[in-house]
A and B are shown apart, each in its own frame.
Chain A
Amino acid sequence: MANMKVNVCGVEFKNPVIGASGTFGFGKEFQHLYDLGKIGGISLKGLTLERREGNAPVRIAETPSGMINSVGLQNPGAKYFLEHDLPQIRKFDTVLIANINGNTEEEYCQIAELMSDSSVDMLELNISCPNVKCGGMAFGIKPESVYNITKAVKPYCKKPLIVKLSPNVSDIKENALAAEEGGADALSLINTLYGMAVDAKTMRPILANVKGGFSGPAVKPIALRMVHDCYSVVKVPIIGIGGITTGLDVVEFMLCGASAVQVGTANIMNPMAMPQIIDELQNYLTEMKIDDINSLVGALKI
């Protein structure tokens, strides 16, 4: 069997397939379907210091080969998570990444500190959520604000810090460099594209929040291009995200420079997506006679 282990800024994953934040809850819902110890890691549902109710429904719209969501970071709050959810999910042998959010720089720092003192393995700074009024994407658009928030949060992180980048920017390379300069240990990209769906018959937007985050197989070409762009300019490892539904999709992202990937919408399409993707990935390596998955990273032939 080929080696599937990858190492992202000092954290070892048994394979490069990680559940993407917001599509995998705190993992619990999937434990009845398969052994969570099979997957590389879980980027947990986005957390804020205080409980958040999220946006009014309707929160989801299907679009061709994609979907738009406007959940709005509904979560029980960091303290509740640490007391009630983390102990349950920690027992699984998989890397846990806390996806952290705030309305202000101070809140980001506080939650980074709180999560650093917990048993999670890594932090993912979410400065790219399009569904919240304050914070979220506002911190992630301009390279200087990416730099500032990363630099501000970094001293509070006793765990490796991943910065999750927004695709809704003029040049993602600049933002990637800004995050790296600010102290990011790794980057994850892309978060959802800012999109909209309209019902011609009712003449209304489908989402109550009007606009939302567009994801799914339809966004994969954009995500691949952006991973490729960022890989050409940064030294820190990249976690590729965007429309992955098969093992071959993972390979494509790794060839473009991703050291690992996150699987998001595919979990919603098919709850067995991640174990299936991992099996497909293993089969690909066997068929291609590749003995170490790490040899794929950035190996795109141009």
Chain B
Amino acid sequence: MIDLTFEIIKNEIMASDIFEMTLKTDKLPADIKAGQFANVKVPNRTDLILRRPFGIYSVNFDDNTIKLGYALRGQGTQALSILPAGTKVQVLLPLGNGFPAVEEGKKVLLVGGGIGVLPLLSVAQSFKNNVISSCIGFKDASLQMKVDEFKALSKECIVASDDGSLGEKGYVAQVLAKYIDQINPDVIFACGPEIMLKGLGEFAAKYPTYVSLEQRMGCGIGACLVCSCKTKKNDEEHYARVCADGPVFRFEEVFYG
């Protein structure tokens, strides 16, 4: 990991209240993996002292750019959303474990909800030796993002929305239930709201499932111990660090009992 200065190339709205920021630096670290994140300092705001952790959903080593997606949640994301191209920002990356490598030829099912689809897009883009299927859901059509990209990168792509204004009507887990046997994945990678992830229990019981989590974070490198989540391993419960032990965990490690 390294703390680098980036320049904003583009910073624009991608869906209702969701932005994407394209950032360029002189030389990207070579070891960025799908599902890892970056900790972004809000420039020129001494009142906003904590960095904001965002998933890196696209990496281009040719032009040394990365893309981050973020939802307007508070003062920090609000301040970032109005930054013009050319602004310099300090970014610590790559952070977290990312999604595990999968054996060549194996079928990977991506299950995402809302802004949680973005880290999965990085999997679809970089797991070139795997067969990718995806099931992505949004609250409504106005919140859709990257649907065309998922369609292009997946063998099959199921799209759902809570109100039926886009794709099939229903929650991701409900819609996926109709297709899961047919997809028969070797592994499931999921990211989205906690309630969506929890709803994947019946699939996780059948297929190895990994989930990427969110938590309010501090340092982003595992030192300050604030971004905890309770995990269970070998029958022992303990607090893991979402930033350093995660953000990707085995489903049964974090959702149990």
1/0 per position for B66-77, CB-CB distance to A under 8 A?
000000000010
> What residues of chain B lie closer than 8 Å to A65, measured between beta carbons?
46-47, 49
A268 CA to B224 CA, complexed, in Å: 7
A45 CA to B230 CA, complexed, in Å: 20
Q: Does A69 contact B (CB under 8 A)?
A: yes
1/0 per position for B1-35, CB-CB distance to A under 8 A?
11100000000000000000000000000000000
**Known contacts A66-B49, A217-B49, A271-B92; A58 and B218 CB within 8 A of each other:** no
1/0 per position for A41-82, CB-CB distance to B under 8 A?
000010000000110111111101111010100100000000
Whether B227 contacts A271 by the Cβ 8 Å rule is: no
**Known contacts A29-B219, A29-B221, A33-B2; A60 and B226 CB within 8 A of each other:** yes
Which of B46, B76, B218, B230: most chain A Cβ within 10 A?
B218
> What residues of chain B lie closer than 8 Å to A283, measured between beta carbons?
none
A25 CA to B218 CA, complexed, in Å: 12
Q: Does A267 contact B (CB under 8 A)?
A: yes
Interface residues of B in 216-245 (CB under 8 A from A): 216-230, 237-239, 244
Whether B3 contacts A59 by the Cβ 8 Å rule is: no
Q: Does B48 contact A (CB under 8 A)?
A: yes
**Known contacts A53-B239, A57-B228, A272-B3; A29 and B50 CB within 8 A of each other:** no
Whether B223 contacts A30 by the Cβ 8 Å rule is: yes
Whether B229 contacts A60 by the Cβ 8 Å rule is: no
Q: Does A269 contact B (CB under 8 A)?
A: yes
A74 CA to B220 CA, complexed, in Å: 17
Interface size on B, residues (CB 8 A): 33
Neighbour of B3 across the interface among A33, A45, A58, A206, CB < 8 A: A33
State how many angstroms separate the Cβ of B158 from the closest Cβ of chain A: 32
Ordered by A's residue number, 26 sampled pairs between the chains whose C-beta atoms are within 8 Å are A23-B223, A29-B244, A33-B221, A53-B239, A57-B216, A57-B226, A57-B227, A58-B216, A59-B216, A59-B225, A59-B226, A59-B228, A60-B226, A62-B49, A62-B50, A65-B46, A66-B49, A67-B50, A216-B49, A217-B46, A268-B50, A268-B223, A269-B49, A269-B50, A271-B220, A271-B221
